[in-house]
Amino acid sequence: MSENDRRVAPRRRGPGGPPGMGDKAKDFKGSIGRLVRYMARYKVKFSIMLVCAIGGTIFNIVGPKVLGQATTELFAGIMAKIGGTGGINFSKIGRILLTVMALYGCSALFSLVQGLLMTGISNDVTYRLRQDISRKINVLPLKYYESRTTGEVLSRITNDVDTLQQGVNQSFPQLVTSVTSIIGVLIMMISINVWMTVASVLILPISMTVVMLVMGHSQKYFFNHQKYLGDVNGQIEEIYGGHTIVKAFHKEADAEKDFDVVNTQLRDTAWRAQFFGGMMQPLMNFIGNLGYVVVAILGGYMVIRGKIQVGDIQSFFQYIRNFTQPIAQMAQVTNMLQSSAAAAERVFEFLEEPEEEMKSRLRPAALPASVQDSQESGAEDRTAAVPDGRKVVGNVEFDHVSFGYDPEKIIIHDFSAKVEAGQKIAIVGPTGAGKTTMVKLLMRFYDVNSGAIRVDGTDLRDFDRRNLREAFGMVLQDTWLFSGTIMENIRYGRLNATDEEVIAAAKAAHIHSFIMQQAGGYQMVLNEETSNISQGQKQLLTIARAILADNRLLILDEATSSVDTRTEIRIQKAMDNLMRGRTSFIIAHRLSTIRDADLILYMENGDIVEQGKHEELLALGGRYADLYNSQFEKLA
């Protein structure tokens, strides 16, 4: 469709990106809270995972102290041997080492179970998220997609969900093990020596200060990284989808320049995010080494004074490493949680977008029981019916319709017309007159600002949207086919149609002979871009699909614009048979195709300027006549 009144998506590209957007996650705690609530169904598995994470950490923490006993025993044996009072008790050391192996073995087993459980939870969460996003895609209003790029929407279901999966799989168990390690190690250090523990803990405020400073600077970069990644995806999708046009107009250099802009934004943001994330570990290692120096000096003094054993110093060194390591890990987890929070915010923001209200505005009590059941069941196979239960006949009335995508900018002004069931109505006029907007209003992709559109005397707003759309068949200028067989693409019009009905529809659309010439016939598979058939053949298949759907009302938006003149004549005859007895709205620029219309509406600036039959409008000598004659002047 080439209407100027289509609401165009605001571009999110250009030097510097959109100002004031994505400085940091809008609600870090809220996003993490929503993610936790979303995972509530896994609370049993999650609880078991927590127990395993804590258990594995505890066994790992106890190990160094027991191992220190082996060092003490070895040191005592050596000293006894030197003094001639005894020797090394290898059997006791062996028992201690076996105990240490058992402790570490139990720790590894608990960690394995914890890893398996968390992997299952994270994959199930992302599976559900993608299902929810897929469902959401089908219930969002048309205006949502007209105001956003395709890449931005795709980024929610790919990059953001992947980021969430990594965050859930790594952040939560790491957070638990880190907290458990810090508490457990602190207890073990106190059990060895209080003063050495105090000296070690003095590094904690320094560590926390570093963590907070780095986290404060990095949060905005993690959010921006996700946003710019969506922009890059949108740019690639847009250029790849239109690569033929780009080459035809020699715009490769401009495309590369535009891509460089968004790619540079992504690179710069990613560099800053990774820089702040990567500097955490070296800083924490440096602070940890300061603790080693303090403990080495104090520990040596304690051994000389006989306050602790030599093995205790070894254990304490291990505990210092185990004390600073989880602090560093928590710093890494905070970075990962920021990235996860930014992704979660984008995903849940998408899932919480207002959905298209599908039900009738009438209260359930005002509807027949059969209609209420139909609305509640959400069944796909429905017979189009007026809310009071009558089957749709096809009478349509536009009663002083006023509409604007922006309520402050009205583009349809006081539109009124009456259409009898079975009539063929042609809507013509210059680009931007409001023709395609009328189609969107008929399908209730948008609701009127004032006035009313009625089908069989019932306001469209009183229809269930699904039920209303069951009454309409559509053939658009922009064809849409999916990767699948020709049979499947035609049957999309009516999923329960038999093969014979599909073939009959193809014959009526004059596409049967072409199909039978292809390898596989009706089982020929159309590729992802449907580039293995011509544009005209695509149009014929969509017409066959509309014929098979057999709806009471038809919308044909430049349905024959992509076929040659001879094929157009054959299709026109088929369309005449299709439209007989059905109310049809035809948007056309080729005025020769609508000369036999029952009523022609000439629109300009959202108003009906002229209306009547073809001969009447030509005799009037007005704007329709000028438009009709101008086509032949161009040919001349």
Using H for helix, E for strand and C for coil, what is the string for 372-422? HHHHHHCCCCCCCECCCCCECCCCEEEEEEEECCECCECCEEEEEEEECCC
CB 32 within 8 A of CB 171: no
Residue 258 lies in a domain: yes
Residue 94 lies in a domain: yes
Measured distance CA(567)–CA(611) in Å, rounded: 29
What's the one-letter identity of residue 116?
L
389: pLDDT confidence band, cut at 50, 70 and 90? low
CB 347 within 8 A of CB 182: no
**Comparison of pLDDT for 484 and 539, the residue scoring more:** 484
CB 635 within 8 A of CB 590: no
| Burial (0-12, 13-18, 19+ Cβ within 10 Å), 7 | middle
pLDDT at 561: 59
Which residues, in sequence order, are CB contacts of 209 under 8 Å at separation 6+?
none
pLDDT for 46 beyond 80: yes
Domain of residue 144, CATH code: 1.20.1560.10
Secondary-structure breakdown of the chain: helix, strand, coil percentages, each rounded to the nearest 5: 65, 10, 25
CB 63 within 8 A of CB 103: yes
Residue 426 lies in a domain: no
List pLDDT tens digits, range 599-610.
898 888 777 788
DSSP state of 9: P
How many domains are there within the chain?
A: 1
CB 299 within 8 A of CB 316: yes
Residue 161 lies in a domain: yes
pLDDT at 105: 92
CB 103 within 8 A of CB 62: yes
Domain residues for the domain of 237 are 28-351
Strands ordered across the beta sheet of 450-455: 412-419, 396-403, 450-455, 458-459
DSSP 3-state assignment of 604? strand
**Residues β-bridged to residue 584:** 424, 554
pLDDT at 502: 92
pLDDT for 480 beyond 90: no
| Burial (0-12, 13-18, 19+ Cβ within 10 Å), 131 | exposed
Measured distance CA(140)–CA(98) in Å, rounded: 62
pLDDT for 430 beyond 90: no
CB 561 within 8 A of CB 531: no
pLDDT for 487 beyond 90: yes
pLDDT for 109 beyond 90: yes
Question: CA separation (Å) from 342 to 122, 177, 225, 380, 534?
Answer: 17, 24, 9, 36, 43
Measured distance CA(574)–CA(585) in Å, rounded: 16
254: pLDDT confidence band, cut at 50, 70 and 90? confident
Residue 453 lies in a domain: no
577: pLDDT confidence band, cut at 50, 70 and 90? low
pLDDT at 23: 36
Measured distance CA(67)–CA(64) in Å, rounded: 5
List pLDDT tens digits, range 322-358.
776 777 677 777 777 777 888 888 888 888 888 877 6
Per-chain mean pLDDT for the chain? 78
498: pLDDT confidence band, cut at 50, 70 and 90? very high
Residue 501 lies in a domain: no
pLDDT at 447: 87
Residue 410 lies in a domain: no
Measured distance CA(267)–CA(269) in Å, rounded: 6
What's the one-letter identity of residue 104?
Y
pLDDT at 11: 36
CB 541 within 8 A of CB 486: yes
pLDDT at 372: 44
